Amino acid sequence: AAEETTFRELHPRSAELAARAHGSLLAGVPMPWMTRWPGAFPVFVDHAEGARLVDVDGVSYVDLCLGDTGAMTGHALPQITEAITARAGRGVTTMLPGEDAVWVGEELARRFGLPAWQLAMSATDANRFVLRFARHLTGRPRVAVMDWCYHGTVDESLAVLDGDRVVPRPGALGPQVDVAVTTAVVPFNDLDALDRRLAQGDVACLLMEPALTNIGIVLPEEGYLAGVREITRRHGVLLINDETHTMCAGPGGATRAWDLEPDLIVVGKAIAGGIPAAAYGMTAEIAARLAGPMLGHEIDVAGVGGTLTGNPLATAAIRATLSSCLREEDFAGAVPLAERFTAGVAGVIEAAGLPWHVQRLGCRAEYWFCPPPRDGAAAASAVDEEIEAFFHLWALNRGVLLTPFHNMALFSPAHTEADVDRHTEVFAGAVEALTA
């Protein structure tokens, strides 16, 4: 309650805007997830630059949310701003390709090791398209996902396990498509369960994050991803790595960092520096089976792509981001900051003798108020929303912005060691307040 009072005192202008927003925006926000911030209302943003976000009350934050990875590069980097400004004056949508699109295809192929790429408007979009391609290519009806995964608002993926049954994800608006018919769900880090399920022969593809990142960070156990590859191959199931968040593992995502061999890859959010765009790539074999029929008009491509997909503005933003940010050297700047964060938080946890832990993947990290869970269901039942909200609001009131989802922290090269240490200090204060 004290933190709520402080929050209100710090944010009179946000409170005014929130009240006004309720007059015209559903739930007072332009997008439902924005209601998920702890506090009576979200802070309204004035601007964001580098590692800083400044709200309409003039409060400045160390931004560790970075748009839930959409701004993994840091905010408003001149390289990206200049590229999109220049493009804006030269036409932003054409329904025809330009040279930037060719550059982008070549760069994605080089980074991720798959030769043929397509663009999409968002990672959700890209995931929908690859699922469609996978069903087309295999002639099988069902898609497999990990229990408690998140791949955007893709209907088939909004499913979890309830015992052996596949049921809609709790809280998903419904009635939705019948996930018991469209979807197979398997627990992360469980090769036997995957093998048993895929043996039924009705699954077109497995859509997965190489590490779960949407129920907190859950890392793959030793040998798990190699096992997934062997099992999917043996059952003729296409393996799709959704690297939308795991891009934090390095310039080629977890796929390159861990030497994985998926059939298809989806990347979104960060790759266009915050402009809406995503991409998906595929093996030469898949490309050969799709490209000829597409060019020969044998495949009706309705169902993939959209009018604004691959537009020149988005394409210029991807080029600027990949050519001058999100490179090897940028990760070399950001990852040590995440390591420093992990060490600082672990030190506080250890000194307090708590059974908590801190997890890291590349330049993103997160603390858990429990020992490490090994799969999505264990992670979901371990999540304590009350304590997460307390830590989040405590940090926000002290100028540190974590993601509202599981208090994750993302680092860009624009952050500094002082930013990390400020968070550690704030975290230590919260632990002290909680355990006093």
> Containing H/E element for 284?
helix 284-295
Q: Which of 279, 275, 245 is nearest to 112 (CA)?
A: 279
- Please tell me whether residue 364 binds ligand PLP under the rule CB under 6 A: no
Cis peptide leading into residue 175 (ω within 30°): yes
Q: How many residues bind ligand PLP (CB under 6 A)?
A: 14
Tell me if residue 401 falls in helix, strand or coil: strand
Q: How far is the CB of 152 from ligand PLP (least distance, A)?
A: 3
* Residue 63 Ramachandran class (φ > 0 left, ψ -120 to 50 alpha, else beta): beta
Tell me if residue 382 falls in helix, strand or coil: helix
Among the listed residues 151, 197, 319, 357, the single contact to ligand PLP using CB under 6 A: 151
DSSP 234: H
The region of 194-202, 221-229, 242-250, 307-315 touching ligand PLP under the rule CB under 6 A is 242-250
Q: How far is the CB of 71 from ligand PLP (least distance, A)?
A: 12
Name which of 267 and 325 has its Cβ closer to ligand PLP: 267
Q: How far is the CB of 83 from ligand PLP (least distance, A)?
A: 20
Among the listed residues 37, 150, 188, 427, the single contact to ligand PLP using CB under 6 A: 150
Neighbour tally for 136: CB within 10 Å = 16
Tokens 């933003």: give the residue. Answer: 317
Q: Which of 7, 5, 2, 10 is nearest to 56 (CA)?
A: 10
- Please tell me whether residue 268 binds ligand PLP under the rule CB under 6 A: yes
Q: How far is the CB of 92 from ligand PLP (least distance, A)?
A: 20
Name which of 268 and 373 has its Cβ closer to ligand PLP: 268
Neighbour tally for 270: CB within 10 Å = 28
φ and ψ of 261, to 5 deg: -130, 65
Cα(412)–Cα(304) distance, rounded to whole angstroms? 33
- Please tell me whether residue 152 binds ligand PLP under the rule CB under 6 A: yes
Which amino acid is it at 29? V
Name which of 246 and 397 has its Cβ closer to ligand PLP: 246
Q: How far is the CB of 43 from ligand PLP (least distance, A)?
A: 20
Which residues 113-132 are close enough to bind ligand PLP by CB under 6 A? 122-124, 127
Which residues 181-240 are close enough to bind ligand PLP by CB under 6 A? 209, 214
Q: How far is the CB of 100 from ligand PLP (least distance, A)?
A: 21
Tell me if residue 192 falls in helix, strand or coil: helix
Among the listed residues 111, 142, 197, 245, the single contact to ligand PLP using CB under 6 A: 245
Q: How far is the CB of 232 from ligand PLP (least distance, A)?
A: 18
Cα(380)–Cα(406) distance, rounded to whole angstroms? 11
- Judge whether 10 and 397 are in contact, CB under 8 Å: yes
Beta strands 264-267 and 278-282 are antiparallel
The region of 90-98, 107-115, 133-141, 146-154 touching ligand PLP under the rule CB under 6 A is 146-154
Name which of 115 and 210 has its Cβ closer to ligand PLP: 210
Name which of 98 and 376 has its Cβ closer to ligand PLP: 376
φ and ψ of 400, to 5 deg: -125, 125
Q: How far is the CB of 353 from ligand PLP (least distance, A)?
A: 34
Name which of 278 and 348 has its Cβ closer to ligand PLP: 278
**Which residues of this chain interact with ligand PLP, rule CB under 6 A?**
122-124, 127, 150-152, 209, 214, 242, 244-245, 268-269
